[in-house]
Structure 1
Amino acid sequence: MVIGVCTIDLDIPMSTSLKDKRQVIRSVTMRLRKEFNVAVSEVERQDARQTTVLAVVSVSSDRDYVHGLLTRVVQWVEKTRLDCVLVDYYIELI
């Protein structure tokens, strides 16, 4: 069994309040869950107005599948989310 964890560091430059930020995060997490069937949670900087860190997790018996899935998640965030900027990401397979 392989557990893949991807941490994604995001900037949300248009956010003027925590309410704006949470609206963007809610949208991102719901779309990721629907599109990729992964677990998603905000794990750092919950009280910062324009930055956040999301953790995306997937479990499978195939190491290559998990790595490919998490890579596609990162690409999806970069290409489709115009309301946030991907600053950094890290993929770890356990």
Structure 2
Amino acid sequence: MHIGVCRVFLRLPGNRSLKEKRRITRSVIDRVRSRFNVAIAEVEDNELWQRLTIGISCVSNDRGHANQMLSTVVRYIEDTTRDAELLDYEVEMVPGV
């Protein structure tokens, strides 16, 4: 079993309030959850209204599959989120038991 963990760093250039950030965050999280079998949540920058950091994780029997799944989710976020700009992302693979 392998665990894939990814942090996605987004910039919200047109955002002007925490309320608007929450709307964008909820939209991204809901769309990813409905399309992919991953765990996803906002993990940092909770009070910064122009930055959004999302944590994503998945479990797989194959390390390559977990890595591919996370890469696909990141591409999906980048391609479908109009209100946010992808700054960077980090992927870490945790060997399973």
Q: Structure 1 length normalisation: TM-score?
A: 0.96
In structure 2, distance between residues paired with 1:83 and 1:18: 14
Quote the residue 1:27 is aligned against. 27
Give the CA deviation at 1:68: 0.5
Give the CA deviation at 1:55: 0.3
In structure 1, distance between residues paired with 2:62 and 2:34: 21
Instruction: Tell me the amino acid that sits aligned with residue 69 of structure 2.
Output: L
Q: Detail structure 1 runs of 4+ shifted over 3 Å in the superposition.
A: none
Q: Name the SS for the 1:72 alignment partner.
A: helix
Quote the residue 2:63 is aligned against. 63
Number of equivalenced pairs = 94
Give the CA deviation at 1:52: 1.5
After superposition, residues 1-94 of structure 1 pair within 5 angstroms as 1-94=1-94
Q: Structure 2 length normalisation: TM-score?
A: 0.93
In structure 1, distance between residues paired with 2:24 and 2:47: 14
Cα deviation, 1:32-86, whole Å, max 9, x if unaligned, reads 1111111111111000011021000001111111100000011111111111000
Give the CA deviation at 1:23: 0.3
Give the CA deviation at 1:4: 0.3
* 5+ long unaligned stretches in structure 1: none
Q: Name the SS for the 1:75 alignment partner.
A: helix
Q: Name the SS for the 2:3 alignment partner.
A: strand
Instruction: Tell me the amino acid that sits aligned with residue 83 of structure 1.
Output: D
Instruction: Tell me the amino acid that sits aligned with residue 86 of structure 1.
Output: L
* 5+ long unaligned stretches in structure 2: none
